[in-house]
Structure 1
């Protein structure tokens, strides 16, 4: 039985098993010890920080500009980008766009009958959303802010490209974007854009990707991006692997720096996320739950992925290296060598990850190239983790829509 992250049952259920996992992994208690994990002081004070941490620190969106509230598709699209030229948004005026209802941007049509399907599953005509693949163009210096726990956008996602910068998307349910079509629309696309904060949203029933960065040729800058405190719900009635889960919900294949922190990804069947291209990505303090295949998938010689303080629960392969595997630094236990290397590069121990049950093939490696890239990153762009054993309870209390104060 699955539990909502907002339920009172989930934290109690998980806490009962965490102490045993902590003892079995040999990581010690919560207090900082020589060769141990990071300390209790690293716990986030709140899930509702006023600004992003990590690679996207400093993103302000529409702060300082006018605040407008929208309730229709036409109003939303206009406020996201009032002016465009040759397909590129030229509207750079700071603006906060509030949504306090559900805005349905779907444009539905009937498609041809399906040619094949899962064993025992009925074949039938497809009703597809012609608007989904287009995406809504977003201009620079914009904040899209959901008001309350029921703010939602469905049927079409957000498109950030052509040099757009300084964009915030917070506290929205973004759902129902051509579910069942492998090449349907994405919920958020960041390609040739920078300074982006995607925070406290819920993603569900999306045909292609919840979030995709970069372009198909592994280019397309997606620099200074922070993705935090989101729920990625992979439950699917149209599973590619016939297992009721979303295959490939996240794809980061651009260039630049990205922080993926304090997110809950559940019921997925691979590529959560796939990371490739010339990118430095910190995957920190996330809860990966009920994956039928792998979670983090790396490829490409220029990829550098720092994996710290994550909790992998019922994920057979937490980290998968592709044929041209990228560099990964992630630990399941502290060692003297690991402690020395992390302190030299980061000035602290690296936070170990927890995987339960223990995976047959975990793919965790200690790659010095990742630590070198992290050491060279701008000050403050690498997040200090809290202990992985605390991740399920911390996220249960603060992840997703309706937790902004």
Structure 2
């Protein structure tokens, strides 16, 4: 295991800047596997500890390499705005309402009941811009960002986000905001991050190329009182539809979703390995241009691991484990299904997308996933 030092050890505390005195040493744990292997974030920059939301925004967005340690909750809620909207999924109390962002209701839901006035937290509508060469890490269970997400776009690169919780971004409202957005970035590692109570997408890789991304050991908690399916299961989970994206999704706990867990399309290569997919209605939606290698995953109480109605891309699900060896340098691990629907994909053309075995994440057995992932994924662990 490799560590990037964030703060000097006790014997060298006297040499640390004043801003770091009295702070507990917090380090990035481990290193990225898969496509974002080699990411260093802020490297050995002296740690900074923001105390206000303005400081946090400034540190994340400036031009300096930064190691930013969160040892408190940062609450962006409280600045409200109003807008009109619509109710495409009905007006029952468990249904999300849609804000008419960019005339979405007008253009795409013209027959839905209108909602004349919606009051929402304005901060959630856009994420905090994260510049290149940043490490954002939480201290224990203290690193919480409430009411606003994170956004990496416009060519930024070399970013680590570890051990934080992003939560309460207008969960009642579709178009209320995303948890983490990557859109035209490269070399991004998201690890031990929890997302919960998000209005729109928990993690979205948008239309622009996002290069190399690893999402690992994280929790997508879809439990909600408001959903597009009106059943307590969040629909807007992972949305991977960028151009020329390569994504490693490893060791994550994805549960209580009703779709997009994940949605893959555009021109995206996804290696989904050793994830635990808990109670959900369906997980993979694979549109045109999506290439998915799914191995060593556990599906527990998932009605449909793959949504057949949206299957336009390609998926290989490792029933023939030996077929992987000439591409990955090892056999694949078979997936495991318990109280779940069928999972089968034999598009071996997917394997040809994995041309560099040095950037392929390792795979454990599904039995190891069942015993470890639900308890070890997420923040504060």
The answer as to 2:170 corresponding to 1:178 is: yes
Structure 1 contact 226–260 (Cα < 8 Å) conserved: yes
Structure 2 partner of 1:25: none
Structure 1 contact 261–286 (Cα < 8 Å) conserved: yes
Structure 2 contact 186–211 (Cα < 8 Å) conserved: yes
Structure 2 partner of 1:273: 262
CA deviation string 1:227-263 (max 9, x = no partner) = 0011111011111111011012110111221100000
Task: Report the alpha carbon displacement of residue 322 of structure 1 after superposing the two structures with TM.
Answer: 5.0
Structure 1 contact 66–94 (Cα < 8 Å) conserved: no
Q: What is the count of residue pairs matched by the alignment?
A: 332
CA deviation string 1:304-348 (max 9, x = no partner) = 1110111101101101245561110103xx4xxx24422233232
Provide TM-score, normalisation by structure 1. Answer: 0.78
| Cα separation, 2, equivalents of 1:262 and 1:121 | 30
The answer as to 2:188 corresponding to 1:196 is: yes
What secondary structure sits across from 2:254 in the alignment?
strand
| Cα separation, 1, equivalents of 2:50 and 2:298 | 38
Task: Report the alpha carbon displacement of residue 64 of structure 1 after superposing the two structures with TM.
Answer: 2.3
| Cα separation, 2, equivalents of 1:105 and 1:262 | 30
| Cα separation, 1, equivalents of 2:92 and 2:120 | 23
Structure 2 partner of 1:51: 31
Structure 1 contact 320–363 (Cα < 8 Å) conserved: no
Residues 143-292 of structure 1 correspond to what in structure 2 (within 5 A)?
143-215=135-207, 220-254=208-242, 255-291=244-280
What secondary structure sits across from 1:55 in the alignment?
helix
Structure 2 contact 285–310 (Cα < 8 Å) conserved: no
Structure 1 contact 289–313 (Cα < 8 Å) conserved: yes
Task: Report the alpha carbon displacement of residue 151 of structure 1 after superposing the two structures with TM.
Answer: 1.6
CA deviation string 1:331-372 (max 9, x = no partner) = 3xx4xxx2442223323221111111141xx35211111111
Which of 314, 324, 327 is 1:327 aligned to?
Answer: 314
| Cα separation, 2, equivalents of 1:237 and 1:339 | 40
| Cα separation, 2, equivalents of 1:176 and 1:205 | 5
Structure 1 contact 321–363 (Cα < 8 Å) conserved: no
**CA spacing shift, 1:383–1:137, aligned 2, 3 Å:** same
RMSD of aligned alpha carbons? 2.1
| Cα separation, 1, equivalents of 2:190 and 2:321 | 32
Structure 2 partner of 1:315: 302
Structure 1 partner of 2:65: 94
| Cα separation, 2, equivalents of 1:257 and 1:152 | 28
CA deviation string 1:275-323 (max 9, x = no partner) = 11112110010111110x21111111x3211101111011011012455
Structure 2 partner of 1:104: 75
Structure 1 partner of 2:290: 303
| Cα separation, 1, equivalents of 2:263 and 2:152 | 20
What secondary structure sits across from 1:131 in the alignment?
helix
Structure 2 contact 94–232 (Cα < 8 Å) conserved: no
Structure 1 contact 56–224 (Cα < 8 Å) conserved: yes
Structure 1 partner of 2:25: none
Which of 360, 365, 373 is 1:395 aligned to?
Answer: 373
Provide TM-score, normalisation by structure 2. Answer: 0.82
Structure 2 partner of 1:355: 337
Return 5+ residue gaps in structure 1 as ranges.
1-47, 83-90
**CA spacing shift, 1:158–1:120, aligned 2, 3 Å:** closer
Structure 1 partner of 2:55: 75
Moved over 3 A (4+): 110-127, 321-324
Structure 2 partner of 1:371: 351
Structure 1 contact 299–321 (Cα < 8 Å) conserved: no
| Cα separation, 2, equivalents of 1:310 and 1:179 | 28
| Cα separation, 2, equivalents of 1:343 and 1:379 | 10
Structure 1 contact 248–274 (Cα < 8 Å) conserved: no
Task: Report the alpha carbon displacement of residue 165 of structure 1 after superposing the two structures with TM.
Answer: 0.1
| Cα separation, 1, equivalents of 2:316 and 2:94 | 42
CA deviation string 1:57-80 (max 9, x = no partner) = 001100122310012110000101
Return 5+ residue gaps in structure 2 as ranges.
1-27, 98-114
